[in-house]
Amino acid sequence: MRARRITCRVAVLTVAAISALNLFAVASTDAGTATTPPNSTALFSVSRSLTLATDGAGPFIVGAGNDSIFVDGTFDQFHHQTDTDDLIRINLSTWRISAAARYPNETSVAFGDGALWWATGQDAFDIPAPDSGRVLFKIDPTNLSKQTAFVLPDRTLLVTVARTSLWVATPSMLIRLDPVSGQILVKVPSSFSPIAMSSSEQGKYLDVLGSRDSKEYLTTYDAVSGRRMMRRLIPGASGGPLATTTRGVWINTANVKGQSTTARYYEGDRLLPSTTRGGYPPDISLFSGVGVIWLVDSWGLKSTECLAPSTGHVQSRGGPLGVYGSFVAYAGRTFVLFDRGLTDYFARVIPTKSCS
């Protein structure tokens, strides 16, 4: 599952495969010539980078698997269009964009159980989403073509895969689907407005952040049965994402006036408050890494940090990555998105000793 971004996208009602070569200006570079974020050497070195020439919304890493990284964003400066989302597959073996596709406005994207899942749950700029936002697209992860479209009883706001369990959050319910037929296997009524959702404990649990009556709660469910395990009141407001560890989950919360943010760690089956680190900018994002938690200022103004996953101790601090900078750990390696000016970059990085 990805973090919510402070951008608006416009929905379109067509889905079309497109040529990556026609859409993206791409340059691949190796260590020594690769572009690096300013003042980042305390965090990592860049071993390889890929240039994504874009001045649109995003990009954001939405999944990793099958020797691929999946990124969505708006890559339209060559087409002079701003009304679509784009989804790309970066092949890690060839270090090239091997597939690209165009889908309607999305609220959440997830990868797992052999497919990409694209939720369409809300309108943008008063243009309606497909079937009033009730569609969940199943996408082939190799060529990014549409395999099928499941139409659910309500808007598909969030989607994630916990091991082999496909879960969708609607405004009033959590729904577990059969990934082949789309049949509803489990319904869990919810009185919370969903904000963020992620799997934890290697897919054993489903963590859901939701709001009700101006309060926010973090709830853990059994990923197969949907049985509620634990619910914890979260002080302050959060937009996610959730960064899970082997023992708990990190979440960012803003104070009442929204002038600062605190990173909080909830540990174990009971989601016990364990560690806090405060004084951050209003819109930080937390990402799970290889033995660390990466903390990014999503406004691209303040520093990037790597934190010890259980204590929150700042192990190292570097420069900002740019708006919507994001990390993903896959197959023991670390990948990051960052921007310089109006150009976005995707990179494979080698964390420093303090960040690994």
Q: Specify the pLDDT at position 22.
A: 43
What pLDDT is recorded for position 300?
81
Per-residue model confidence (pLDDT) at position 236: 85
- Enter the tokens of residue 244: 């899970």
The answer to whether position 9 is within a domain reads no
Structure-token pair, residue 346: 């995707």
Structural domain includes residue 235: yes
Domain-located, residue 34: yes
Reported pTM: 0.89
Whichever domain contains 145, its CATH number is 2.130.10.10
5 lies in a domain?
no
**What range does the domain containing 248 cover?**
16-350
| 6 inside domain | no
Number of structural domains, the chain?
1
What pLDDT was estimated at residue 214? 87
Confirm whether 8 is domain-assigned: no
Per-residue pLDDT of the chain (356 residues), as tens digits, is: 433 333 333 333 344 444 433 444 455 666 555 678 889 999 999 999 998 865 556 688 999 999 999 998 876 544 444 445 589 999 999 999 999 888 887 889 999 999 999 999 976 666 678 898 999 999 999 999 999 999 999 999 999 999 999 999 999 999 999 999 999 999 999 989 999 999 998 899 999 999 998 899 999 999 999 999 999 999 988 888 899 998 899 999 987 666 789 999 999 888 999 999 998 988 889 999 999 999 998 878 889 999 999 999 999 999 998 767 789 999 999 999 998 777 889 999 999 999 98
Is 101 a member of any domain? yes
Residue 129 falls inside a structural domain = yes
Predicted pLDDT of residue 125? 61
Please spell the DSSP secondary structure of 56-95, one letter per residue: SS--EEEEEETTEEEEEE---TTTT--S-EEEEEEETTTT
Are 264 and 276 in contact by the 8 Å Cβ rule? The answer is: yes
What's the pLDDT score for residue 127?
Answer: 66
Tokens encoding 257: 């006036």
Tallying the residues shown for the chain, one arrives at 356
- CA distances to 26, 130, 306, 309, 340 from 47, rounded to whole Å, are 17, 41, 19, 24, 17
Q: Which pLDDT belongs to residue 4?
A: 35
Q: 90 with 100: CB under 8 angstroms?
A: no
